[in-house]
Amino acid sequence: MKTIFTLTCLFFILSVTGQQFMEKEVEMEKLNGTLSIPDAKTHTAILLIAGSGPTDRNGNNALGFMNNSLKMVAQELSKAGYAVLRTDKRGIAASKGAVEDQTNLRFEHFVEDAKNWLNFLNQEGYKKLIIAGHSQGSLVGMIAAQDNERVVGFISIAGLAEDAGEAIVRQLGAQSPVLAEDARVNIDSMKAGYTVKKFNPYLVSIFGPAIQPFLKSYISYSPTEEIKKLDIPILIINGTTDIQIEVSQANSLKKACPNADLLIIDAMNHVLKDAPADPAANMATYNNPELPLSDGLITGMITFIKKL
């Protein structure tokens, strides 16, 4: 499929501590994003890929959570002199029009979109590309990075090591053993190639007819297998108070790829902010855009990028 790139004429100039940078809105075949460009010329660009669910380019979502985590990451990296592209996923926010029928959406569409955004960055003149994927975006990024000579580094931020089906069963187990058991039967059936027609009504948001085709494609990928296919430098990041993706997941990715760098940030949660382990207090940070990013996140990423 031929990819056509168009840019809108909307520009923002931001004065920040460190370098100044400009932000411009970009569009690619009904997909939309924001490209942060530092004033100082750079040949390095970072593609920042958002996580699962209705999460937009800024790390916010339609469920009412606004924390601006990914926006903050992008802008901090641009202060350091790097171009950063963050995008709304297919079917989400300004990219909603890219999905006409949700039943036709597959995980592979996200991977293909990431590859096309990498091509876009290359056409913009960036010859040294880095992928940073958060949560589900970690798996998207590690697949998109494969066999692309322009991609010189990969950063996994709060990424799963187990496949998404195992994660669903595990997370449900912490809430309800009965639901977890039901989910296990459904996940195993889907992995065997079957369509699940009967499921617990409490699990309709996971196994409903509209979402099931996407889930079936998603759970077919194992992050620990995909990361082994990369022959570029890798940085694996996780926080000790991430109640969605535990540190054990980062350790498993590291075990699968021993040459990768591992950065565990004390007190950082899933939205990359300092948070206590208490679930209620932890979740409260998901809707507080005033909280800064956890110390060590940006410096860790920059240290890694400078070595590439």
Q: Could you tell me if 109 and 29 are in contact, meaning their C-beta atoms sit under 8 angstroms apart? A: no
- Give the pLDDT band (50/70/90) at residue 18: low
What is the percent of the chain where pLDDT is above 90? 92
What angle do the packed helices 177-191 and 164-173 form, to 10 degrees? Answer: 170
| Residue owning tokens 């920059």 | 302
Query: Per-residue pLDDT tens for 76-127?
Result: 999 999 999 999 999 999 999 999 999 999 999 999 999 999 999 999 999 9
Closest CA to 168 of 143, 115, 114, 205: 205
Threshold 0.75, pTM exceeds: yes
Q: How far from 118 is each of 102, 107, 115, 121, 157, CA to CA, in Å?
A: 24, 17, 5, 5, 19
Q: Residue ranges of the domains in the chain?
A: 5-163+221-306
Q: What angle do CA 116, 156, 171 make, to 5 degrees?
A: 110
**Cα–Cα distance, 210 to 39 (Å, whole number):** 44
Displacement of CA 238 from its chain's centroid (Å): 13
Three-state SS for 9?
strand
Q: Look at residue 100 in the predicted model and tell me its pLDDT.
A: 92
- Give the pLDDT band (50/70/90) at residue 12: very low
Q: Kindly report the CATH class assigned to 5-163+221-306.
A: alpha beta
